[in-house]
Amino acid sequence: MANSAPGPNTHGGTAQAALNAEADTEYIGLLERSLADIDLPFFVRMAVHIDLASRHRLAAEILYQWGRLHYPLGDNEWADARLDEPFSWQAGLLFFIAGAGLTIYFRTEKERMARKRIAETTKGIGRPKVGGQFELIDQNGQRFTDEDMKGKYALVYFGFTHCPDICPEELDKMAGMIDIVQKTNGNVMRPIFITCDPARDTPAVMKTYLKEFHPALIGLTGTWEQVKSVCKAYRVYFSTPPDVQPGQDYLVDHSIYFYLMDPDGDFVEAIGRNFTVERAARVINEHIGDWRGKLDKE
């Protein structure tokens, strides 16, 4: 099978650096505006207010405020201790724990802000549109459109049931992703398999085939023109002949990517064959964690 490049373009180093700088600026601004909403102790929030730019000063301020809360010395004594007393092993341990915890928290938040900035900056600008309107039939013979994908994240894969090797391997990976995402976030993702071989992949064939991989999988098929239309919308290459006779043997070639769509139906990520199940599930869970809108969990 051919493995063509995914629809979305990648950004160069200069653009990425600019986006990271903007994410840093927005990240600091967010902390300054919304510290009251962060689930941290009061003295930590107060320390962050004192100096966001200095991690050493922040950690020292945490130790000082913690000590004032737990040891009944007068203000003057604590002022002297703040300047002159060396660290005890308890203070050193607290320094390490507080510093590590805050570093992890701030790094995670910074990465989230960077992903959000990239998604907003590139939405409709600098990348081809992936996805769009379509109308197909699911494995139960029911009409299924792009509107039925919305409300949850959707993981879309294109293949065919007569595929001897790659499609079964990728569907096994897809099943693993589904299990990890469900365990972490619940039922917030629709896994969708769209055939590139509608002449042979009827709803009944799809239903029997997909049962071997995962019960949550939704299989979609349709006429050759309908399948061609949805493949074009997702920028998927495929080479199935339009006119075939019953029993005729032929080869099918197609792109090999998972397409992650957000609950609004917008493209957010292309996941290639080089991704392990764990890496792919982590990427999906990160995007789900970034989502601030309503998510259908039914």
What tens digit of pLDDT does each residue of 34-57 get?
A: 444 444 444 444 444 444 444 555
pLDDT at position 238, please?
79
Taking only the tens of pLDDT, the chain with its 298 residues reads 444 445 444 444 454 555 455 544 544 444 444 444 444 444 444 444 444 444 555 555 555 565 555 555 555 554 555 444 555 555 666 666 766 666 665 565 555 555 555 555 445 455 558 899 999 999 999 999 999 999 999 999 999 999 888 999 999 999 999 999 999 999 999 999 999 999 999 999 999 999 999 999 999 999 999 999 999 999 898 777 777 766 677 778 778 899 999 999 999 999 999 999 999 999 999 999 888 788 888 7
Torsion sign over Cα 169, 170, 171, 176: positive
Q: State the pLDDT at residue 44.
A: 45
Question: Helix, strand, or coil here: 2?
Answer: coil
247: region left, alpha or beta (phi > 0 left; psi from -120 to 50 alpha): left
What pLDDT, on a 0 to 100 scale, did the predictor assign at position 190? 97
Annotated binding site for Cu cation: 163, 167, 254
| pTM of the entire predicted model | 0.60
Alpha-carbon span 18 to 14, nearest angstrom: 6
Decide the pairing of beta strands 135-138 and 189-195: unpaired
By residue count, the chain amounts to 298
Radius of gyration of the chain (CA): 26
Contact between 285 and 32 under an 8 Å Cβ cutoff? The reply is no
Q: Which amino acid is at 223?
A: T
Tokens representing 189 are: 């993702």
Q: What is the pLDDT of residue 47?
A: 43
pLDDT for 76 equals 54
At how many degrees (to 10) do helices 277-290 and 166-185 cross?
40
Output DSSP code: residue 235.
T
Predicted local confidence at residue 51, as pLDDT = 42
Residue limits of CATH 3.40.30.10 in the chain: 135-290
Spell out the CATH class of 135-290.
alpha beta
Output the pLDDT for position 22: 54
List the binding residues.
163, 167, 254
Contact 8, 259 (CB under 8 A): no
Name the amino acid, one letter, at 28.
I
Q: What is the pLDDT of residue 253?
A: 73
Burial 120-134 (b: 16+ CB within 10 A, else e): eebeeeeeeebbeeb
pLDDT of residue 186: 93
- Cα of first residue to Cα of last residue in the chain, in angstroms, is 36
Q: How many CB atoms lie within 10 A of CB 47?
A: 24
List, in sequence order, the alpha helices (H) in the chain.
Answer: 13-34, 42-50, 55-70, 75-84, 89-122, 166-185, 203-210, 224-233, 277-290
User: In whole angstroms, what is the distance from residue 214 CA to residue 193 CA?
Assistant: 11
pLDDT at 177: 97
Query: Rounded distance, CA 148 to CA 154, Å?
Result: 10
CA distance 206 to 79: 74
Indicate if the alpha-carbon torsion angle 278, 284, 287, 293 is positive or negative.
negative
Structure tokens at 53: 């730019």
